[in-house]
């Protein structure tokens, strides 16, 4: 049993609250560690120290700050395997998935190596007689990141890298269910040359989060997690005068047109529906075939693929397809939703509730579950399940399929499989979802674009990473300056408008 610590001013510091969160080993079901849950006083202390450190960090020139990112990137590569082990041990995802999690974070670090270019201001020469205008981007000060359990490396890196490269200090509150990876990242950043205090890692639950939201020094809050919490944090942060961007849950639909490559569509649905045990905000959780023949064919193609999926602990080898869910509560919730699907009349083509693995009977495993004939009123359609459950909703035509996606409360990601460019273009143009895949099931944009959902998947007006992140973590100051002219300026005649 291990007890983790906070990371304050470049050192591991024991929590003082006496309250802890259990950290499970999801494959065995054991509680393997505890994470301290910070008090408001501990949080405020971390913020005060971050504010001191930030004053100096903001004066370090952008290129030097970018060099810290370069070294950080190199260290992440060097420590990839250790990071992946620590991540999988708490999260349960397979090692290739854990490395993917780290890699997608690393790609954002790489973009932050170009921070100086992102931070350049604007300049207008002679906006009036002797008058120049320029704008500059200045860091906000201390900002906070609050992150979910499902990407313990990637999302903390999405938050900390642009914030720090832009000259802020960050107080990061990672998920108390998968907290250790963030501590390793903090150590690597220190080794990369980040001054102590510029990144603080404080573990906690609602109490620490509320202290973040009410702390007057914190200027901005970047949140990723479930929709009810995203909405709550957005409201409270904004009413306290902070900038906030809060990304929430999802229900991602994939439309399959009759002309699609069915084998490829089936591969995509099985990979994007069940990969990472469905614990991805960009997982496909709803298949929307157009036409009965398309629907029947898809089921026929998916079943043998599902039967081949290897479900097991990350320690079982690199070829596992997915692992257990993160906690017993998550497993019970997913099993409860599967039961509700059956009760409410959906057809369970496969049912993963009784999945069991010798030697891991107490692990939080749920097998791949495919539902057909799902309707929009059912709980399995309305709720984000966040488990290895794929629901098929049959539709008669493209317009009906598109309407289903548009009417859904979530708008994180969506995809269409088709051979028809006109339909694909129409879909990309009309759909009210933030990230769209065309013959591409999980359209997470590359790190030099931006990531963000619409509707109840995102609150706030800027996306994560890419150029938007630099806008979010800086504020613009615009200077109008005049230098009085005492020098004779050449012989050019003054400009006179025509007429
Ligand atoms: P969660 O909302 O339970 O927790 C997220 C963070 O909020 C954690 O740090 C947690 O400690 C904190 N928190 C939890 N309850 C709180 C409360 N009552 N008050 C204040 N803070 C609280 O989410 P999770 O289960 O860790 O992550 C899964 C969710 O995150 C899913 O809904 C998933 O879709 C979503 N997600 C969204 C994105 C995105 O970019 N849109 C990315 C990844 C995950």
pLDDT of residue 39: 98
CA dist., res. 305 & res. 174, Å (int) = 35
Ordered per-residue pLDDT tens for the chain, 499 residues: 999 999 999 999 999 999 999 999 999 999 999 999 999 999 999 999 999 999 999 999 999 999 999 999 999 999 999 999 999 999 999 999 999 999 999 999 999 999 999 999 999 999 999 999 999 999 999 999 999 999 999 999 999 999 999 999 999 999 999 999 999 999 999 999 999 999 999 999 999 999 999 999 999 999 999 999 999 999 999 999 999 999 999 999 999 999 999 999 999 999 999 999 999 999 999 999 999 999 999 999 999 999 999 999 999 989 999 999 999 999 999 999 999 999 999 999 999 999 999 999 999 999 999 999 999 999 999 999 999 999 999 999 999 999 999 999 999 999 999 999 999 999 999 999 999 999 999 999 999 999 999 999 999 999 999 999 999 999 999 999 999 877 776 555 555 667 5
Does 191 lie in the same domain as 340?
no
pLDDT of residue 487: 74
Does 335 lie in the same domain as 379?
yes
Pocket test for ligand 1, best of 93, 148, 176 (most atoms within 8 A of CB): 148
Among candidate residues 112, 238, 246, 281, the one labeled active-site is 281
User: For residue 148, how far is its CA from the centre of ligand 1 (angstroms)?
Assistant: 4
User: For residue 174, how far is its CA from the centre of ligand 1 (angstroms)?
Assistant: 10
Output the domain CATH number for residue 157.
Answer: 3.40.605.10
Does 35 lie in the same domain as 22?
yes
User: In this structure, which residue's CA is closest to atom 42 in ligand 1?
Assistant: 281
CA dist., res. 474 & res. 163, Å (int) = 8
Q: How many domains does the chain have?
A: 2
Does 432 lie in the same domain as 387?
yes
Residue 276 maps to a domain = yes
Does 216 lie in the same domain as 279?
no
Does 373 lie in the same domain as 294?
yes
User: In this structure, which residue's CA is closest to atom 20 in ligand 1?
Assistant: 206
Residues sharing a CB contact under 8 Å with residue 230, sequence separation 6 or more, in sequence order? 223, 224, 246, 247, 248, 249, 458, 459
Residue 444 maps to a domain = no
Q: Which of 406, 438, 470 is the last residue of a domain?
A: 438
Alpha-carbon dihedral sign for residues 431, 435, 438, 439:
negative
Residue 494 maps to a domain = no
Output the domain CATH number for residue 273.
Answer: 3.40.309.10
Residue 302 · residue 270 · CB < 8 Å? yes
Residue 386 maps to a domain = yes
User: In this structure, which residue's CA is closest to atom 12 in ligand 1?
Assistant: 205
pLDDT of residue 491: 53
Residue 389 · residue 330 · CB < 8 Å? no
Residue 443 maps to a domain = no
Does 276 lie in the same domain as 171?
no
Active site (annotated) includes residue 238:
no
Residue 462 maps to a domain = yes
User: For residue 332, how far is its CA from the centre of ligand 1 (angstroms)?
Assistant: 18
CA dist., res. 388 & res. 320, Å (int) = 14
User: In this structure, which residue's CA is closest to atom 17 in ligand 1?
Assistant: 206
Does 337 lie in the same domain as 224?
no
Point out the ligand 1 atom lying closest to the alpha carbon of residue 175: 9
Residue with tokens 């997690």: 225
CA dist., res. 463 & res. 469, Å (int) = 7
Closest to 165 (Cα-Cα) out of 116, 204, 121, 215: 116
Task: Please list every protein residue whose CB sits less than 6 Å from any atom of ligand 1.
Answer: 146-151, 173, 175-176, 205-206, 209, 224-226, 229, 247-250, 281, 384, 386, 412, 453, 457
Point out the ligand 1 atom lying closest to the alpha carbon of residue 210: 20
Does 306 lie in the same domain as 221?
no
Residue 95 maps to a domain = yes
Does 239 lie in the same domain as 279?
no
Residue 132 · residue 99 · CB < 8 Å? no
Pocket test for ligand 1, best of 157, 225, 249 (most atoms within 8 A of CB): 225
Point out the ligand 1 atom lying closest to the alpha carbon of residue 453: 41
Domain that holds residue 115: 2-248+457-479
User: In this structure, which residue's CA is closest to atom 43 in ligand 1?
Assistant: 281
CA dist., res. 104 & res. 10, Å (int) = 25
Centre a 10 Å sphere on the Cβ of residue 263 and count the other Cβ atoms it contains. 11
Point out the ligand 1 atom lying closest to the alpha carbon of residue 281: 34
Q: Which two tokens stand for residue 434?
A: 């933030």
User: For residue 154, how far is its CA from the centre of ligand 1 (angstroms)?
Assistant: 14
User: What CA–CA distances, in Å, run from 477 to 56, 130, 139?
Assistant: 20, 20, 11
User: For residue 410, how far is its CA from the centre of ligand 1 (angstroms)?
Assistant: 15
Residue 155 maps to a domain = yes
Point out the ligand 1 atom lying closest to the alpha carbon of residue 384: 32
Does 91 lie in the same domain as 65?
yes
User: For residue 206, how far is its CA from the centre of ligand 1 (angstroms)?
Assistant: 11
Does 155 lie in the same domain as 97?
yes
pLDDT digits (tens, 9 = 90+) for 370-419: 999 999 999 999 999 999 999 999 999 999 999 999 999 999 999 999 99
User: In this structure, which residue's CA is closest to atom 38 in ligand 1?
Assistant: 281
Pocket test for ligand 1, best of 90, 158, 171, 229 (most atoms within 8 A of CB): 229
pLDDT digits (tens, 9 = 90+) for 305-360: 999 999 999 999 899 999 999 999 999 999 999 999 999 999 999 999 999 999 99
């Amino acid at each position: 049993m291990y007890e983790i610590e906070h990371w304050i001013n470049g050192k591991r510091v024991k929590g003082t609250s006496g309250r802890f969160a259990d950290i499970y080993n999801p494959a065995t079901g054991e509680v393997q560690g505890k994470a301290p849950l910070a008090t408001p006083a501990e949080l405020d202390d971390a913020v005060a120290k971050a504010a001191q450190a930030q004053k100096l960090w903001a004066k370090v020139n952008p290129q030097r700050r970018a060099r810290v990112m370069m070294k950080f990137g190199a260290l992440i590569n060097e420590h990839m395997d250790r990071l992946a082990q620590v991540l999988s041990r708490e999260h349960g995802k397979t090692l290739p998935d854990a490395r993917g999690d780290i890699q997608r974070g690393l790609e954002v670090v790489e973009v932050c190596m170009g921070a100086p270019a992102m931070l350049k201001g604007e300049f207008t020469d002679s906006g009036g007689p002797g008058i120049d205008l320029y704008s500059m981007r200045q860091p906000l000060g201390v900002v906070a990141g609050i992150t979910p359990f499902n990407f313990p490396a990637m999302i903390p890196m999405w938050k900390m890298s642009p914030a720090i490269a832009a000259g802020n200090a960050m107080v990061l509150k990672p998920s108390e269910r998968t907290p250790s990876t963030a501590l390793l990242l903090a150590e690597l950043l220190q080794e990369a040359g980040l001054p102590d205090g510029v990144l603080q890692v404080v573990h906690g639950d609602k109490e620490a989060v509320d202290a973040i939201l009410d702390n007057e020094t914190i200027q901005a809050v970047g949140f990723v997690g479930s929709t009810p919490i995203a909405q709550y944090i957005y409201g409270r942060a904004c009413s306290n005068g902070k900038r906030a961007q809060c990304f929430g849950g999802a229900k991602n639909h994939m439309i399959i047109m009759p002309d699609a490559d069915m084998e490829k569509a089936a591969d995509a649905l099985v990979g994007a529906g069940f990969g990472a045990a469905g614990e991805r905000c960009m997982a496909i959780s709803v298949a929307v075939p157009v036409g009965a023949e398309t629907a029947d064919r898809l089921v026929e193609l998916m079943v043998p693929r599902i039967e081949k999926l290897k479900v097991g602990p990350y320690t079982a080898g690199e070829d596992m397809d997915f692992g257990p869910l993160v906690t017993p509560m998550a497993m019970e919730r997913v099993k409860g939703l599967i039961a509700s699907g059956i009760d409410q009349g959906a057809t369970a083509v496969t049912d993963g509730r009784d999945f069991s693995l010798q030697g891991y009977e107490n692990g939080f495993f749920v097998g791949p579950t495919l539902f057909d004939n799902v309707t929009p009123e059912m709980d399995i359609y309305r709720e984000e399940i966040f488990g290895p459950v794929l629901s098929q909703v049959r539709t008669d035509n493209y317009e009906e399929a598109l309407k289903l996606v548009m009417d859904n409360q979530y708008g994180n990601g969506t995809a269409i499989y088709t051979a028809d460019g006109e339909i694909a273009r129409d879909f990309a143009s009309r759909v009210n979802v933030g990230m769209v895949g065309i013959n591409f099931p999980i359209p997470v944009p590359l790190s030099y674009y931006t990531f963000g959902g619409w509707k109840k998947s995102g609150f706030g007006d800027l996306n994560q990473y890419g150029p938007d992140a630099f806008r979010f973590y800086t504020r613009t100051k615009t200077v109008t300056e005049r230098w009085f002219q005492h020098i004779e300026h050449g012989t050019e005649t003054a400009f006179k408008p025509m007429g």
